[in-house]
Amino acid sequence: MPVRARGPAWLLLSALLVAIPAAASGPARACIEAHAAGQTERDAGRLLSAQAQFVSCTAEACPPMIRRECVALGESASAMTPSVVLVAQDGEGRAIEGARATIDGVRAIAQLDGRPLELDPGQHRFALVLPDGSSQTLTATLRSGEKYRRIVASFVPVVPSAPPATSERTGRNPLAYVFGGVGVVALSAWGLYALDGKNKQNELEHCAPHCQAGDVDAMRKSYMIADVLLGVSLVSLGTGTYFFFKQTDEQTPRGSTSTLWLQASGRF
């Protein structure tokens, strides 16, 4: 509760004010004006300004009664003035060296050292900055008489998210599709040559046994090519099936399907 002059002391101060001429400019009048201005600032909630006024009217040049009154009022204003302790800490709660702050955009704190900072009651904005430029802005509303309120900014380093782990296992071996494709193509070609051979055989049955030797050779050639293609198809499809169902924990050698096909072709 604000301390106001009461009773005889106030009457004496009023009398002293009347006794000093309006045109006086001496120390006594300045002390009395500071005494009155301090109470005005206190009542308006500007406690820091009020303290400064009360300190100025405790000077030796002030009348003893004014000095005693200003000491009491100054102590009361100091008790009413809230204070904060600004803290910049890391993710483990340790204080970060070299942090600085700005209060309400005007009051600069060069280094946070854990000492309390007095402020007027009301809402305030605190910008805490680290040596590397990282910053946080916090707001808080202070009540009259609230002391040593901690304003804490936690700076937790941002850990980049790890890319999703890729398995060394590649699933189906690409060679399964290579050999499977060769087998399907060879099987289709086998069907064409086998059909061609069958057609030529049907034609030769009409001229047997007086058929031309060249026509007989053409029929045999079609059947021979069909047999070779059938063998290639069966081997390729079997090999492709083997690679398709074979699972391995070893990483497949890098390279495109065409590269693998060239490597496989070089082995035959």
Question: Is 116 in contact with 86 (CB distance < 8 Å)?
Answer: no
Most confident region among 16-30, 153-167, 222-236 by mean pLDDT? 222-236
Q: 258 with 178, same domain?
A: yes
**Distance between CA atoms of residues 112 and 102, nearest Å:** 11
pTM: 0.53
Domain assignment present for residue 1? The answer is no
Same domain, 189 and 210: yes
State whether 42 and 114 are in the same domain. no
CATH code of residue 119: 2.60.40.1120
Q: Are residues 200 and 237 in the same domain?
A: yes
- Does residue 168 lie in a domain region? no
Q: Is the residue at 125 inside a domain? A: yes
User: Is the bond leading into 209 cis (omega within 30 degrees of zero)?
Assistant: yes
Tens-place pLDDT, residues 42-85: 999 999 999 999 999 999 999 999 999 999 999 999 999 999 99
- Average pLDDT for residues 20-32, to the nearest whole number? 69
Domain annotation covers residue 183: yes
Q: Are residues 227 and 243 both part of a single domain?
A: yes
Residue ending a domain, choose from 25, 46, 80? 80
Verify that 72 and 104 share a domain, yes or no: no
Say if 148 falls within a structural domain: yes
What pLDDT score does 226 carry?
79
Residue 134 covered by a domain: yes
- What's the longest Cα–Cα distance across the chain? 159
Tokens for 264? 């496989």
> Do 91 and 149 sit in the same domain of this protein?
yes
Q: Are the beta carbons of 55 and 77 closer than 8 angstroms? A: no
Do the beta carbons of residue 193 and residue 221 sit within 8 Å?
no
Q: Are residues 51 and 119 in the same domain?
A: no
The lowest-confidence range among 4-13, 81-90, 105-114 is 4-13
Select from 135, 222, 230, 144 the least CA-distant residue to 186: 230
119 three-class SS: coil
Q: Are residues 66 and 95 both part of a single domain? A: no
Same domain, 185 and 257: yes
The winner for highest mean pLDDT among 6-15, 127-136, 167-176 is 127-136
Give residue-wise pLDDT tens across range 219-252: 888 889 978 888 888 888 888 788 787 755 444 4
Number of domains comprising the chain: 3
Domain enclosing residue 22, as ranges = 7-80
Which of 93, 127, 155 terminates a domain? The answer is: 155
Cα–Cα distance measured from residue 163 to residue 261, given in angstroms and rounded to the nearest whole number: 32
Strands 117-118 and 83-90 come out as: antiparallel
Same domain, 185 and 258: yes
User: Does 184 lie in the same domain as 118?
Assistant: no
Among 58, 80, 102, where does a domain finish? Answer: 80
Cβ-Cβ contacts under 8 Å for 200 (sequence gap 6 or more): 215, 218, 219, 222
